Amino acid sequence: MTPGSGHKKSKIDVLARKLGRRSRQEPRGGQRTVLITGSGRGIGRATAEYFAAHGWKVGVFDIDADAVSWASGPEYVAGVIDVTSPGSWEQALAQFAEATGDRLDVLVNNAGILYGMPFMEASFARDSALADVNIKGVYFGARAAFGLLRKTPGAALVNVASASAIYGTPEMATYSSTKFAVRGITEALDQEWAADDIVVRSVWPLYVKTAMLDGVSTSGTSRQGVNLTAEDVARKVLTAATATNPFAPVHYPVGLKTTLLYHGSHFAPSRVSRALNSLLVGD
């Protein structure tokens, strides 16, 4: 069992948990709280506004101080965070905990960057930047927030992944590989942290109409178009964070195409998944 976990579980409880059954404690009374990284704009901002509209206290944190200036109401706690810095994580969480009485119901690891082009047209520096933000940012956030999440009954960690974690995506090879890492840490921690009453979830959108895709043109964006909205993703994040079904899924695809590809990949041979992925996003 992980450090700080509760009483010893029966063998039946442990087996049920290993098979995916996850009962959740009721959240404590009062206003629920969520901290969202990269929430100055795009999916992060839409998610922050959506949680706030549902009565949550929302931490709006971004690397750009100007980008969070919109979050000035009493329902928001605005701050700056560099998700690649453990020290910055500690400062941001301390600021949020002070405002919420050490309560953190949900952490949303949303901050991310991408480039879309053939792999060899990019560079070592661009690969490194994606790995730092998209992978280390999630790892560091999970590690830094664990203590607050463990102290908050019914807590959740939600990682914003991508449909590119279903099968490697050409012209987004590095981005796709970072989202496979997010998939892996999500699945592993959901098992590790079960004894601490923390569920770990991820949401998987395809292409979303945000500034992050401005100027990005790949075979996938040309073939499929950019049809999802940031609000589509925000709704799915809230669903993933609050689902109480004991057999709720770990991963939440966003949009019909992603849902079909995601579920199909569980039953189709690898070559079929590759073919379907190529039809959707390949040349």
* Residues acting as catalytic residues: 175, 179
Chain centroid to CA 5: 24
CB 260 within 8 A of CB 212: no
Strands (E) located in the chain: 33-37, 57-62, 76-80, 106-109, 155-160, 198-204, 251-253
Q: How far is CA 27 from CA 105, 146, 209, in A?
A: 8, 16, 33
Task: 8-11: list long-range contacts, CB under 8 Å, 24+ apart.
Answer: 9/195
Q: For residue 33, what are the β-bridge partners?
A: 57
> Rounded to an integer, what distance in angstroms lies between the CA atom of residue 166 and that of residue 258?
9
